[in-house]
Amino acid sequence: MNNLYILAIISIIISAALTPLVKRFAVKIKAIDIPKDNRRVHKKPIPLLGGLAIYFSFIITVIAKAGDLTRSEMGIIIGATIIVIGGFLDDKFDIRPWQKLLFQIAAALSLVIFGVSIERITNPFAAPGIDTYVSIGMLYIPLTIIWVVGITNALNLIDGLDGLAAGVAFISAVTILIIALMNTRHDAAVLTCILAGSILGFLPYNFNPASIFMGDTGAQLLGFLLAAISIEGAIKSAAAFAIAVPILALGIPIYDILFAMIRRKINGKPIMQADKGHLHHRLLDMGLTQRQAVIIMYLISAVLGSFAIIAMQISTQKSYFLLAMVMVVLVVIAWKFGFFEHRE
């Protein structure tokens, strides 16, 4: 446990030290977010590429820790590097969505090649007290890709307010860290601890008023790492597991992207068309400040993370029931507050 504290402190220091350097680099190469439409909340140009500080902090600490790199760690590092290259190109040159998708799929495939994949799921219909695992055969490849690409994009989509995506990712990382420790998945716990530290070192620069944005470089990186480490820390658990656990742990980005897809479908809009209907937009429309909206979403993320931890300690059937109840409550709240209404 002491090693985890040391790794967290090291990653915090590296990330905090690198962020000002990355900021100067972003300004030098003109990788800057200039507000061009009404979906952007900030009013002045802000440097991008903050994700590079998180990336290098994570990579340096992982490589420098005691012991050789495991096969899973190599796959995660390679995948993270692919994601960062794609994110950097998007922040600098604004590449097309299909090009970003290719980078994301390539990163997900690197995980599969190195053994980080979803190979089985828990049968929710097994007899009480018995957790029966269902092998999914070759479906593990597309299922892993869908999970990784989905979470990568989901976290990217909530990166709309200062400190929002980074803070939610930090809370999700802490949740997965606790779950990994409960499952005695030490390798996953180490990676999650380093990730949490890397985020925490960057967050003071990104919280409102932000002096630097993560950009696609950072938002996609955090989504990818959370998706990958959740496979190692929760989905590969030797204990009772239900898909409810990572879904709850990564609740905010997952539910936000699902509600966005439903909203656009109901209103006859293309599913990939951007709008101002995301949760953070609606909170601002209700009169909240950026900080207030972000703190509320932090609290929601923490509550969902708590449910994920509870789900680890109950039967598979009960964990699925808990997930269903949470989804029903969130849908009712979303409907009540007009989250399914289209807004340009």
Binding site listing for Mg(2+): 156, 216
Residue with tokens 């990939």: 272
Residue ranges of the binding site: 156, 216
- Distance, CA of 60 to chain centre: 20
Kindly state the helix (H) or strand (E) to which residue 187 belongs, with its residue range: helix 186-206
Closest listed residue to residue 119, CA positions, set 143, 152, 150: 143
C-beta atoms surrounding 101 within 10 Å: 14
Token code pair at residue 232: 């190692």
For the chain, helix (H) and strand (E) counts, in that order, are 13, 4
DSSP assignment letter at 138: G
Sign of CA dihedral 73, 77, 83, 87: positive
Helix crossing, 251-266 with 164-182: angle to 10°?
A: 120
- Determine the Cα–Cα distance for residues 188 and 230; give it in Å rounded to an integer: 8
DSSP assignment letter at 137: G
- Determine the Cα–Cα distance for residues 162 and 132; give it in Å rounded to an integer: 43
Residue with tokens 């828990």: 122
Burial class of residue 138 (count of CB atoms within 10 Å of its CB; 0-12, 13-18, 19+)? exposed
User: CA angle 252-61-78, nearest 5°?
Assistant: 70
Q: Letter for the amino acid at 334?
A: A
Local structure of 224: helix, strand or coil: helix
- Determine the Cα–Cα distance for residues 26 and 30; give it in Å rounded to an integer: 6
